[in-house]
Amino acid sequence: MIEGLLLRTALVPIIACAGILLGLLYRGLDRVLVARMQSRVGPPVTQPFRDVKKLLLKENIVPRDAVGWIFNSVPVIALSVTVLILLYLPFIGMEPVLEGHGDLILVIYLLLIPSLALVLGGFSSGSTYATVGAQREMVTMMSYEFPLAVASVSIAWIISAANPGIAAFSLGAIAMNPAWAAVGPLGLLGLALLLLTMLAVMPGELGVAPFDVAEAETEIAGGVLVEYSGRNLAMFYLADAVKAVVLGTIVIALFLPWGIAGSLGITGMAAVAADAIFYLVKLFIVIFVGSIFIRAAIARFRITQVVKAYWGYATFVSLLGLLLISLDMLSRLL
């Protein structure tokens, strides 16, 4: 028991570092790939690491009008909570470090905190641009919460129906029991719609185009982050990078949880390595579809259009998915 606890404690810093490194690496890939899609050369993949290094060396300016303690504490909160979420997720194909201590519902609540930190940071920085940005961030957050919740709850429902007695909201359990296997054709369609919803929620959560209204460089000059610099900005940057990994991992756990080792017939350490690599590939695909590609392909929405897209279309699609899944369940009961 104690050994297990020690092992888990030892894993925490490793996962935190791996999450940050992976986040920055995918951020680098994002920048190169977007550049290639825009017929540019783009920066080297290591550019985000250099950016963070540079930001950490820069002066940390706190505006005169800012509420200092909030302004300085929210970047730490944003980064630490984002890393904390990773501990509840099946990261790199492993069982979650904090398995049994928190489930999908907790993760969804925790996901709010980095956004709330941004909102607080924006309001506390004493700039009009940041205030506008913070209002927009809040509205965006409220808009994508519902479709996200519908998608998550539907998956848990499917799994609990298929495996009675299981802790259905536990991410370990969700990852072990792919929802796709537990439903019929109607349910498959419903799940596909839910996957689509999740992928649509991703850019909103990550604040990338077309949902980058809270930062909208050309409109409000960086919005919530306009007054942030140096170390504080670096922490928000890192939190953002890790959040991409977090969201990717959630989508993988909910919708694409399979490993590759079983089908290749590999066992032992090689199996762990194969699954880890397969996880990285899946993560790349999810981030590519949910963030990189969409960022290069679409212009920025207005905040009213963001609300319409999430409260209107995404909610409709997710509810339709839920409806199809319930029909599927009913048809099997009958």
Partner 1 sequence: MRKAGDIIGQESRDTYSICVGPVHPALKEPVRLNLRVRGERIEHVDFELSQVHRGIEWMGTRRNPIQILYLSERICGICNICHTFAFCRAVESIAGIEVPPRARYIRTIVAELERIHSHILWAGVAAHELGFDSAMHYAFRAREKVLDVIENLTGNRIMKAIMMIGGVRRDMDKGQARLVMEAADFYSRCSRKLEKIFLGDPVIKSRTRDTGILTRHDCLALCSVGPTARASGVRKDVRQDEPYGAYPDVGVKAMTPDEITGETRGDVYDRIAVRLREIKQSADIIGRCVKDMPEGKIAHEDKANVLLGELRGVQGEGIGRHEAPRGEVFHYVKLVGEEAPYSWKVRAPTYNNLLSWIPMMLGAQIADIPVIAASIDPCMSCTNRAVVTGPGRRQVLGQDMLHDLSVKRTRELRRGLRP
In the complex, the residues that contact partner 1 under the rule CB under 8 A are 34, 37-40, 127-129, 131-132, 135, 209-210, 212-213, 216-222, 296-305
Residue 211 or 255: the one with the smaller Cβ distance to partner 1 is: 211
Residue 71 or 301: the one with the smaller Cβ distance to partner 1 is: 301
Question: What's the rounded Cα separation, in Å, for the pair 66 and 56?
Answer: 21
Token pair, residue 238, equals 């890192």
**DSSP secondary structure string for all residues of 233-299:** HHHHHHHHHHHHHHHHHHHHHHH----SHHHHT--HHHHHHHHHHHHHHHHHHHHIIIIIIHHHH-P
Q: Minimum Å distance from CB 139 to partner 1?
A: 9
Residue 65 or 95: the one with the smaller Cβ distance to partner 1 is: 65
Q: Minimum Å distance from CB 231 to partner 1?
A: 23
Residue 115 or 131: the one with the smaller Cβ distance to partner 1 is: 131
Using the CB atoms, write b or e for 158-184: b if 16+ within 10 Å: bbbbbeeeebbbbbbbbbebbbbebbe
Residue 210 or 248: the one with the smaller Cβ distance to partner 1 is: 210
Q: Minimum Å distance from CB 219 to partner 1?
A: 5
Beta bridge partners of residue 300, listed in sequence order: none
Look at residues 99, 273, 258 and name the one whose alpha carbon lies nearest to residue 171: 99
Question: What's the rounded Cα separation, in Å, for the pair 160 and 182?
Answer: 10
Q: Residue 229: is it exposed, middle or buried by C-beta count within 10 angstroms (0-12/13-18/19+)?
A: middle
Using the CB atoms, write b or e for 276-313: b if 16+ within 10 Å: bebbbebbbebbbbbbbbbbbeeebbebeebbebbbee
End-to-end CA separation in angstroms for the chain: 46
Torsion region of 3: left, alpha or beta (phi above 0 gives left; psi -120 to 50 gives alpha): alpha
Q: Minimum Å distance from CB 298 to partner 1?
A: 5
Residue 93 or 223: the one with the smaller Cβ distance to partner 1 is: 223
H/E stretch holding 183: none
Q: Minimum Å distance from CB 225 to partner 1?
A: 13
Q: Minimum Å distance from CB 294 to partner 1?
A: 11
Q: Minimum Å distance from CB 305 to partner 1?
A: 7
Residue 17 or 61: the one with the smaller Cβ distance to partner 1 is: 61
Instruction: Give the three-class secondary structure for 334.
Output: coil
Residue 64 or 334: the one with the smaller Cβ distance to partner 1 is: 64
Q: Minimum Å distance from CB 125 to partner 1?
A: 12
